[in-house]
Structure 1
Amino acid sequence: MTDKAAYVKSQGQTRKHHCHWPGCEKQVPPAMWGCSTHWFKLPAALRSKIWATYRPGQEVNGTPSTAYVEVAKEVQMWIKEQP
């Protein structure tokens, strides 16, 4: 397991934070993008982009990278295009 993966898995529910899938209210630790159901609905390429641009601690200090924000927008656009 990578250091990044270990970090994410060790993070708990430190504050109210729901899955980023539109309409999903499932609470997930802030270090996670979303619930497992919606995470795995994303294509592997998008999940890889999220993972590559995520920096441990960005959810704590509220400063995701520009690259992460761009990927997050790309993911939301992909979701909106789904039937």
Structure 2
Amino acid sequence: MNISSISSNAASSSSYATSSTSATIALLKKQIQALEQKIKEANSDSSQDAKTKQQSIQQYQAQLTQLESQLAKLQSKSS
């Protein structure tokens, strides 16, 4: 393997990593939007009792916090 092919492979790997990170960021944003929607729906769901509703919302909010943390980490790495 010569120097130019090593350099080319490194550039290709870097480009792939950037593309992969962008795709992951987009996916996390979609998941965050979906969870925010679930929280809104849970808040307006009158078929659940208050305790069940609260548990559902807390679970969604915990997941949302994790996703937002992952998103922040990825965004700080990509900038």
- Kindly indicate which of the two structures has a greater share of residues assigned to helix: 2
**Computing the radius of gyration over CA atoms, which structure comes out larger, 1 or 2?**
2
Q: TM-score, normalised by structure 2?
A: 0.38
Q: TM-score, normalised by structure 1?
A: 0.36
